């Protein structure tokens, strides 16, 4: 669920070309449904307004829950031990939320990512020149059609090795942020749906079984 128009950060890769086919075939609920259309299913109008006005909707919801527990405790409807235990659970949720946001908003230091990308590019550019002399000396030990042409193998060898290094760099870039809803990321949407389904079942409410895609989002 999105709060508005968002722009990809430097370290996010879902908007890049190698993820174009994935974006065409898989639909993430949070990208397509505004949060304002979903909150009426769970919160009253006053709490929705407070949530949407907050810089962090998740923190606002947890704050509302904490205020509700305090109100119940002051009214004598919640004893002290239960109140403290529930407040401790909300505190744990806030701590976990902060850790997840830390991973999402501040991945690898940008200096590390920039230097790593530059080194890979420089290596791929200079690597073929380092192989020229080595393959040229192989001409003395071969005969037939390859005699005098061994140097052309530099092209195939340098392309293969450069592809390996650029692939490793791309994998490292793709794992910086595990919350972009890619095929190998944390399936946040599925986890939320499962938790909601279990809670509704425990409360005796009707449970809807959502259609599953081939990749858990």
The string of pLDDT tens digits covering residues 157-208 is: 999 999 999 988 888 777 777 777 777 788 888 888 888 889 888 988 888 7
Distant-in-sequence, close-in-space partners of 7: CB < 8 Å, separation ≥ 6: none
Question: Phi, psi at residue 34, to the nearest 5°?
Answer: -65, 145
pTM higher than 0.85, yes or no?
A: no
Please list, residue by residue across 142-176, b when 16 or more beta carbons sit within 10 angstroms of its beta carbon and e when fewer do. Answer: eeeeeeeebbeebeeebeeebeeeeeebeeebbeb
> What is the C-alpha separation between 118 and 14, in angstroms, rounded?
21
Asked whether the beta carbons of 64 and 58 are under 8 A apart, the reply is no
Residue 148 has pLDDT above 60, yes or no: yes
Residue 5 has pLDDT above 50, yes or no: no
Digit-coded pLDDT (tens) for 75-101: 999 999 999 999 999 999 999 988 888
Q: Is the dihedral of CA 86, 88, 91, 92 positive or negative?
A: negative
């Amino acid at each position: 669920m999105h709060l508005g128009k968002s722009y990809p950060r430097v370290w996010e890769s879902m908007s890049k070309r190698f993820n174009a086919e994935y974006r065409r075939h898989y639909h993430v609920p949070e990208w397509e449904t505004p949060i304002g259309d979903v909150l009426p299913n769970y919160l009253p109008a006053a709490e929705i307004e407070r949530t949407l006005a907050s810089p962090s909707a998740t923190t606002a919801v947890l704050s509302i829950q904490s205020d509700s527990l305090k109100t119940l405790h002051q009214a004598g409807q919640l004893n002290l031990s239960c109140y403290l235990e529930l407040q401790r659970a909300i505190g744990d949720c806030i701590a976990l939320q902060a850790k997840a946001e830390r991973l999402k908003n501040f991945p690898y230091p940008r200096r590390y990512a920039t230097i790593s990308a530059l080194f890979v590019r420089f290596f791929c550019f200079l690597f073929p020149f380092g192989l020229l002399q080595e393959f040229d000396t192989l001409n003395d030990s071969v005969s037939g059609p390859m005699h005098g042409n061994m140097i052309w193998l530099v092209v195939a060898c340098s392309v293969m090795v450069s592809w390996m290094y650029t692939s490793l760099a791309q994998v490292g870039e793709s794992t910086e942020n595990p919350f972009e809803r890619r095929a190998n990321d944390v399936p946040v949407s599925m986890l939320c749906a499962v938790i909601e389904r279990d809670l509704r079942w425990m409360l005796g409410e009707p449970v809807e079984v959502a259609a599953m895609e081939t990749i858990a989002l």
